Amino acid sequence: MNELGAKEGISADFVKLGGTRMGKPSGYRVIVDRISHEVEYYRGFLKHAVLEGTYVINNPFWWTADDKFFNYAVAAKTWRRDSEDGLAPTEGLSADVDLNAESLRNLEYPVDWDGLLDFVGRPAILKPFSGGGWKHVYKVNNKQELLAAYDGTSPYCMTLQEFIDFNQYVRCFTFGKMDILPVSV
C-beta contacts of 34-43 below 8 A and 24+ residues apart: 34/58, 36/60, 36/63, 37/63, 37/66, 37/131, 37/132, 37/133, 38/133, 41/17, 42/17
Q: Which domain-ending residue is among 47, 65, 83? A: 65
- Give the pairing type, strands 138-140 and 85-88: unpaired
For residues 11 and 70, membership in a common domain is answered with no
For residues 146 and 90, membership in a common domain is answered with yes
For residues 55 and 96, membership in a common domain is answered with no
For residues 152 and 101, membership in a common domain is answered with yes
**Model pLDDT, residue 96:** 65
Q: Is residue 72 part of a domain?
A: yes
**Model pLDDT, residue 126:** 92
Is residue 158 classed exposed, middle or buried when 0-12, 13-18 and 19+ CB atoms within 10 A define those classes? buried
Q: Is residue 145 part of a domain?
A: yes
**Model pLDDT, residue 166:** 85
Between CA 94 and CA 103 the distance in angstroms is 13
For residues 26 and 74, membership in a common domain is answered with no
What are 101-113's pLDDT values in tens digits?
566 666 667 788 9
**Model pLDDT, residue 44:** 87
CATH code where residue 133 lies: 3.30.1490.20
- Give the pairing type, strands 55-57 and 30-32: parallel
Is residue 137 classed exposed, middle or buried when 0-12, 13-18 and 19+ CB atoms within 10 A define those classes? middle
Model-level pTM greater than 0.85? no
For residues 119 and 48, membership in a common domain is answered with no
Q: Is residue 172 part of a domain?
A: no
User: Tell me, what amino acid is at 103?
Assistant: S
pLDDT higher than 80, residue 183: yes
The helix-helix angle for 113-120 and 143-150 (nearest 10°) equals: 110
For residues 35 and 72, membership in a common domain is answered with no
Domain count, the chain: 2
For residues 87 and 132, membership in a common domain is answered with yes
Do the Cβ atoms of 169 and 155 come closer than 8 Å? no
Q: Point out the least confidently predicted range of 50-54, 80-84, 135-139, 142-146.
A: 80-84
For residues 9 and 51, membership in a common domain is answered with yes
- What is the pLDDT of the chain when averaged over all its residues? 81
- Domain range for 71 is 66-162
Q: Across the chain, where does the E strand assignment appear?
A: 30-32, 55-57, 85-88, 124-128, 138-140, 158-162, 170-175, 179-184
For residues 56 and 80, membership in a common domain is answered with no
Query: How confident is residue 56, by pLDDT bands cut at 50, 70 and 90?
Result: very high
**Model pLDDT, residue 76:** 76
Q: Tally Cβ neighbours within 10 Å of residue 33.
A: 18
For residues 71 and 151, membership in a common domain is answered with yes
For residues 21 and 37, membership in a common domain is answered with yes
